[in-house]
Structure 1
Amino acid sequence: MRKLIYYIATSIDGFIGHPETGDGSFFEQFASGDFHAFLLGEYGDTIPAFGRAHLGIADAPLTRFDTVVQGRRSNQVAYDMGITSPYAHLRQYVASRSLTESPDPAIELIQGDLVEKVRELKAEDGELDIYLCGGGEIAGQLVEEIDELVIKTYPVLVGSGIPMASAGFALRRYELTSVRSFDNGAIVSTYRKIR
């Protein structure tokens, strides 16, 4: 069975985006040196298509993910830049209650039962996993389906914003499977869900 992996950037205090815009671009200042090389090597599939083209890896084979699921507000960042298919190298699903039609033929809208759709995707045959791109609301809706967390923690406090997962209170147990720190102060922690 394929895994749903929530790969997310967060501040030390657990916020993934600006409280009003949802934008998390303030984390981009840390993408340099050995940290950048690690992200590119280990998680290059998660770089949007325009970024992959800029980095010269547009045609690089997929190694970790072949599918991305995200909420409409997370995808809005790309729409605002005039990009209707931000992850053209992956199968793209956008969960939305407000969109009536997809902004691009390459994107399938999930307007019905999000959990059921993700369970269908997880049950597919395949070697590669599903990238849960965010944001906090969709992560909250899918919290019981998240098999693994890959959390890039950046050395900043922001005070408020969009939380990593907006879910009702419940203790959900994960075990730490790896942690790596970098010269820029970032830490990448990987957790596996305890069943």
Structure 2
Amino acid sequence: MRKLTYFVACSIDGFIGDPGGDASSMFRFAGDGYLAWLSSEYPETLPVPGREAVGIAGVENRHFDTVIQGRGSYQLGLDADLPSPYGHLREIVVSRSLKDSPHPNVEIVAGDVVGRVRELKAEDGGLGIWLCGGSVVAGQLLDEVDELVIKTYPQVYGTGMPMFGGGDFSVTDFALDAVRSFDNGVVVRWYSRKR
């Protein structure tokens, strides 16, 4: 069975974006070896233009072959005239408002996202599924998340879009598997779900 990994960037206080979903302030932490590490360890998590900019356009995916994101996250690509921002992956966008896919590589899921993720997890294949973003989508999929890879940036937002939004209070335990820190203050933590 394939794993669903929530691979996400957040502030120290657990927000993945400001109240409007903007996380661009985190982009300035690309230096000090962090971007080089990200490009070599998780190359598939860079969008097509980013892969081209750092010279890894043809590099094979290491962890994921599918990406799932909410409409807000996907809208960033549309606004940049990138209807398939992760064209090196199978792209799934969760949206009730986007009726037609703007690109043949993008599947729109308007209904049962949990059911669709369970179908994806049951597929054969060695690579996993990346939950890219969308606070509400992450909240809907919390019970399906097998692994968390949290890239914490040295910023406090105070308020904003939480990592898991839209759900009721619930405690879900994960085990800390590894930690990696960078000179620029970014800390990456890997957690696996306790079953």
Deviation readout 1:24-44 (Å, 9 max, x if unpaired):
111011011222222111111
Match of 2:8 in 1: 8
Query: What's the counterpart of residue 122 of structure 2?
Result: 123
Distance of 1:113 and 1:131 partners within structure 2: 18
% identical equivalent positions = 53
Alignment check: 8 A CA contact 1:23 1:77 kept: no
**Counterparts of 1:53 and 1:38, CA distance in 2:** 16
User: Would you say the 8 A contact 2:179–2:190 is kept in 1?
Assistant: yes
CA deviations over 1:67-111 (Å, ceiling 9, x no partner): 000001110011111111100000000010111101111101011
Q: Is the 8 A contact 1:68 1:131 kept in 2?
A: yes
Report the residue type matching 2:164 in the other structure.
Answer: A
Counterpart residue number, 2:85: 86
Q: Distance in 2 between matches of 1:49 and 1:2?
A: 24
Task: Tell me the distance in 1 between the aligned counterparts of 2:72 and 2:192.
Answer: 27
Gaps of 5+ in 1: none
**Equivalent position amino acid for 1:142 in 2:** L
TM-score by length of 2: 0.97
Cα distance in structure 2, aligned partners of 1:76 and 1:152 = 22
Distance 1:98 1:106 in 2: 18
Q: Which residue of 1 aligns with 2:156?
A: 157
Structure 1 segments of 4+ aligned residues over 6 angstroms from their partners: none
The one-character-per-residue Cα deviations of 1:159-195 (angstroms, maximum 9, x if unpaired) are 1110011131111000000001110111000000011
**Contact kept in structure 1, 2:74 and 2:93, CA below 8 Å:** yes
CA distance in 2, matches of 1:41, 1:82: 26
TM-score, with length taken from structure 1: 0.97
Equivalent-residue separation in structure 2 for 1:180 and 1:62 (angstroms): 21
